[in-house]
Amino acid sequence: MASLSQVLLGPVAALGRAARDALAAVGRVARFAGQGIAAALTPPWYPRQILSQFLSVGFYSLPVVGLTAWFTGAALALNIYSGGDRFNASTVMPQIVALGITRELGPVLAALMLAGRVASAMASEIGAMRATEQVDAMVTLSTDPRRYLIAPRLIAATISLPLLTLITDIIGIAGGMQVSHYLIDLAPGIYVANTVDFITAWDVESGLIKAGVFGFIIGLMGCFHGDHAKGGARGVGRATTSAMVSAAVLILASDYLLTSVFARP
Amino acid sequence: MSVMNKLEWRGVSKQFGAQKVLDGLDLAVEPGRSLALLGRSGQGKSVTIKLALGLMQADAGEVLLDGVDVTHLPARERRASFASIGMLFQGGALFDSLPVWENVAFRLINADGVGRREARERAVEALALVKLAPDVADRYPSELSGGMQKRAGLARAIVGAPSLLFFDEPTTGLDPITAGAINELIRDRVTSLGCTAVSITHDMVSARVIADEVAMLDGGRIVWRGRASDLDHADHPLVRAFMTGQPLEE
């Protein structure tokens, strides 16, 4: 029979175990990230792999990110028109759309779309390679999987997302412009002039910095969960889901932190 | 004068949780010899090879390659030692994102710095050695049959003219005719290259063809070792059970 101290200390022990496991997981991710960064920054590099990942992560994500950006910009303009009209906000529609897209919605939505499309694909591909001994085979062929598989994905995701965000910013603002043209008959030239006059370089830059961080998170979560996939097809499925969910949560959490740092009075 | 062993496991132990898979394993292979490692499922045959390849770390003991302990070599030096090693994985482990020729030439291109044109030529030559036509070079692994994948995997293992070859269940999942062809190819390549070979197999026909010697792994140690031609006369109950295919009387 359990003693009184065991009964009383049971929940504390369980809490301690949970905290220890959480810290161990953070340690594993941090170690993996450190090794990935070291592999990305030091030779040998595999240019064909890096190029292939740029195509996969960046170029092939353009349609989905572009569509998301347009609809988001358009919806934002609609909301400003219908909701913001109560305090005359529709007169500053171009400015609000530009600020919302460049600082927040552009990087976050592009990152979330990529978390769904890219982090999951990375996790499933690397996980399947683990399950079928392809990663082991690579080691026996004198090739470091961290350099051949992980580093190109981290590089491509970290650089592609800011570029995609820049495109997202432009398309999102264009979406807002189109809606404002039909709703309040604002001429596109005036819309663009208002936008350019209002936004600062920092509005765009802060969004691009965020996008770089989000891109790294997407690459890291995709590679980490794929590399740690265990248990065949089921394990690969679990890794895919974990990669997508953890990337999305970390993107939103780091968005708040970065916005706190970037916020200027 | 004694010959230095090509590969040696010395007092190697490996445990997964509470399960002790290898318990002070002592096993050595002389240069130019082909050894088949037999054993029931779950007895640590694949672990034995993975420890030699550095894909796993031993809990105790050491693995000597050409007399050098490779157990605790840094990853970079360990990878360099792979230059003289070829491995045929059980499922082929071909990279499905690459065409067959790039699979075969993977080491040449990515580790040895050979140009793609020359690497392709050498890959096609290696494919010919395992009786695969040149047009296979541009196909992807998913377009090949199981037997062809094994051949392509064998071509990848031998393309760098290794001095040590590992084969993990080379005939598993193949029909007897294809398995026989793979066995002959392995024997032919091992003899031609004059290299040392270690094979894991459950297939007694395969063991007889590809191996000079056979060792039986059980309970984490070698319980019987002899020439392949001695298998028929072996009196160890586990070897007899393997030969006859009858359940082992516990």
CATH of the domain at B174: 3.40.50.300
Q: Is B157 helix (H, G, I), strand (E, B) or coil?
A: helix
Task: Decide the pairing of beta strands B68-69 and B60-65.
Answer: antiparallel
Residue A50 placed within a domain: no
Residue A39 placed within a domain: no
What whole-number percentage of chain B has pLDDT above 70? 98
Q: Could B55 and A136 be called an inter-chain contact, meaning their C-beta atoms sit closer than 8 Å?
A: yes
Residue B170 placed within a domain: yes
pLDDT at B36: 95
Residue A212 placed within a domain: yes
Residue A24 placed within a domain: no
pLDDT at B108: 95
> Which residues constitute the domain of residue B192?
7-94+160-244
Q: CA B108, B113, B115, B118 torsion: positive or negative?
A: negative
User: The sheet that has B19-29: what strands, in order across it?
Assistant: B19-29, B7-16, B60-65, B68-69
Residue A139 at interface with chain B, using a CB cutoff of 8 Å = yes
pTM: predicted TM-score of the whole model, two decimal places: 0.89
Type of residue found at A120: S
Q: What is the enclosing helix (H) or strand (E) of B35?
A: strand B34-38
Residue A34 placed within a domain: no
pLDDT at B102: 97
Q: Could A136 and B93 be called an inter-chain contact, meaning their C-beta atoms sit closer than 8 Å?
A: yes
Residue A181 placed within a domain: yes
pLDDT at B96: 93
Q: Could B87 and A140 be called an inter-chain contact, meaning their C-beta atoms sit closer than 8 Å?
A: yes
Domain count, chain B: 1
What whole-number percentage of chain A has pLDDT above 90? 84
Domain count, chain A: 1
Q: Could A141 and B156 be called an inter-chain contact, meaning their C-beta atoms sit closer than 8 Å?
A: yes
Confidence of residue A264 (pLDDT cuts 50, 70, 90): low
pLDDT at B130: 87
| pLDDT exceeds cutoff 60 at B1 | no
A254-259 contacts at long range (C-beta below 8 A, 24 or more positions apart): A254/A210, A254/A213, A254/A214, A254/A217, A255/A104, A255/A107, A255/A108, A255/A210, A255/A214, A258/A206, A258/A209, A258/A210, A258/A213, A259/A103, A259/A104, A259/A210
Q: Could B82 and A141 be called an inter-chain contact, meaning their C-beta atoms sit closer than 8 Å?
A: yes
Task: Write the pLDDT tens digit of every residue in B183-225.
Answer: 888 888 888 888 999 999 888 888 999 999 999 999 999 999 9
| pLDDT exceeds cutoff 80 at B93 | yes
Determine the residue of chain A that is closest to B77 in CA distance. Answer: A142
A125 CB neighbours in chain B (<8 A) are 97
Report how far apart, in Å, the C-alpha atoms of B5 and of each of A18, B33, B96, B180 are.
49, 10, 36, 29
Mean pLDDT over all residues of chain B? 90
Task: Write the pLDDT tens digit of every residue in A194-209.
Answer: 999 999 999 999 999 9
pLDDT at B238: 87
Residue A43 placed within a domain: no
Residue B15 placed within a domain: yes
pLDDT at A232: 85
pLDDT at B250: 59
Mean pLDDT score, B177-187? 85
Given a contact cutoff of 8 angstroms between Cβ atoms, the answer to whether B236 and B216 are in contact is yes
B82 CB neighbours in chain A (<8 A) are 139-142
> Which residues constitute the domain of residue A82?
63-262
Adjacent-strand bridge partners of B35: B198, B213
Residue A98 placed within a domain: yes
Residue A3 at interface with chain B, using a CB cutoff of 8 Å = no
Residue B64 placed within a domain: yes
Task: Write the pLDDT tens digit of every residue in A98-115.
Answer: 999 999 999 999 999 999
Burial class (CB in 10 A: 0-12, 13-18, 19+), A198: middle
pLDDT at B189: 81
Q: Which of A91-95, A143-147, A250-254, B58-62 has the lowest mean pLDDT?
A: A91-95
Mean pLDDT score, A78-84? 87
d(CA A5, CA A13) in angstroms, rounded, equals 11
Confidence of residue A5 (pLDDT cuts 50, 70, 90): confident
Residue B125 placed within a domain: no
